[in-house]
Amino acid sequence: MNKIMILYASIGGGHFKAAEAIKNYICEYYPNYKIEMIDALKYTNKVVDKIVINSYVNMARYSPKIWGEIYKLSEKQYSVANFSNMVQKLLSKKLFKLFKDEQPEVVISTHPFITEMVASLKKNGKTNTKLCVVMTDYASHKFWEIKQEYVNMYFVANQEMKHSLKNNGINEEKIFVTGIPVGPAFLKDYSTQEIYEDFGLSPDKNTVLIFGGGQYGMSNINKIFQSLLAVNDDFQIVAIAGKSKKNQKSFQKLAENTSKKVTILPYTNKVPELMHIANFVISKPGGLTTTEILTCHVPFIIINPIPGQEEENANFLTNNGAAIRLYDINKSTALMEQFFHDDFHIEQMKKMQAHIAKPNSTKDIVEIILEKISE
């Protein structure tokens, strides 16, 4: 039986969700393949995994400007992007044991750290597995391109990324513009009436869906939520606080003084359903969240992009008319009041989202990989 190994790192939820979408598709449509999905950073060294994740989260949340400068510098210099080379070499030794035991024919990586570990093993002749890289943002970065000669396939979100990779010396035949993997739940047809009933919402009012920033929250999300509550319009709000208990309590306290219908949820697996009834989404522009929004064609207000990857995502979306961005919290109420009633802008945004979205991304990625490895 052919063995496919999908490797990810839990630095943000997007890398996991992309890996999971690919795994589930293969399991459903290609049961003759043996699939294993592993958090490779955690598998190789739990201490390093914790240090890396905590460092990234704390820097992105509390020192975003510093993280942004590191990101920009590493884009200019491969030596900076390759700063983790010694750590990767150490971690790849344990990964080698896994490869030796499992003998995967194909490895699919959704994170640059993991890509570098596998590429290091290939460089040293420790494995001849085919390495497929699924990039989970809307702009490329040199982190993804380290040891590019040992990568067999790159899967990217748009043509701009393909041109970027080509300009950096990567063979065009290895680059496929498929989009970012999206879970099948976002492609389903739903009974909107049932969704309204399940959440106690009214089908006669617009629904604004706002994300609180996941497990770690965002430092200014309360101000943004207050600005939304202050909008002079009769709509209903679904606020997803995620795993942050602090956000849940803050949202609940702020919602006590509004006449609007507000539903506050913790982490939920009902996001696909909520996306399908939402008239507007307010969120950070993470790669997977962005993909889900584009797939559902929901007018998108971008908040709090982390300098670096999310900043690049925000630029791509706004440059293509697929989202607007909230720059100044003090002017956010006015911006939302204007946008919520700008029917022309809303329709044009939906059209651009439909143009950019690649709803068959997961299917296309899997079928290209399986076709290429059978050649």
For the chain, state the CA radius of gyration: 21
- Predicted confidence at residue 146, as pLDDT, reads 80
For the chain, the straight-line distance linking the first and the last C-alpha, in angstroms and rounded, comes to 17
- Predicted confidence at residue 112, as pLDDT, reads 85
- Predicted confidence at residue 68, as pLDDT, reads 52
- Predicted confidence at residue 79, as pLDDT, reads 45
Tokens linked to 266? 């913790």
Give me the domains of the chain, ranges plus CATH numbers.
3-182+360-373 (3.40.50.2000), 185-356 (3.40.50.2000)
- Predicted confidence at residue 91, as pLDDT, reads 63
Q: Between β-strands 207-211 and 262-266, what pairing exists: parallel, antiparallel or unpaired? A: unpaired
Q: Order of strands across the sheet with 175-177?
A: 34-39, 3-8, 106-109, 130-134, 153-156, 175-177
Closest CA to 304 of 275, 334, 284, 332: 284
Q: What is the dihedral of CA 46, 52, 54, 60, to 10 degrees?
A: -160
Task: Please state, in angstroms and rounded to a whole number, the distance separating the CA atoms of residues 334 and 113.
Answer: 42
Q: Which residues pair with 266 in a beta bridge?
A: 242
Closest CA to 107 of 27, 35, 41, 200: 35
- Predicted confidence at residue 65, as pLDDT, reads 57
Residues 361 and 369: beta-carbon distance below 8 Å:
no
Task: Please state, in angstroms and rounded to a whole number, the distance separating the CA atoms of residues 263 and 200.
Answer: 8
Q: Between β-strands 324-325 and 300-302, what pairing exists: parallel, antiparallel or unpaired? A: parallel
Tokens linked to 278? 């939402």
Residues 238 and 199: beta-carbon distance below 8 Å:
yes
Average pLDDT per consecutive 10 residues, the chain (375 residues; last block may be shorter): 86 83 96 92 58 48 51 51 51 79 93 87 91 94 85 96 94 97 94 96 97 64 93 95 83 91 93 97 94 97 88 95 94 96 97 96 97 84
Q: Which residues pair with 240 in a beta bridge?
A: 211, 265
Q: For residue 187, what is the DSSP state?
A: G
How many Cα neighbours within 13 Å face the side chain of 350? 11
Residues 140 and 149: beta-carbon distance below 8 Å:
no
Task: Please state, in angstroms and rounded to a whole number, the distance separating the CA atoms of residues 272 and 123.
Answer: 41
Closest CA to 303 of 219, 230, 371, 237: 219
Q: CB burial class (10 A; 0-12, 13-18, 19+) of residue 89?
A: middle
Alpha helices (runs of H) in the chain, residue ranges in sequence order = 13-29, 40-44, 46-62, 64-76, 78-81, 85-102, 112-123, 142-145, 159-167, 192-198, 221-229, 245-255, 271-277, 287-296, 309-319, 332-340, 343-356, 361-373
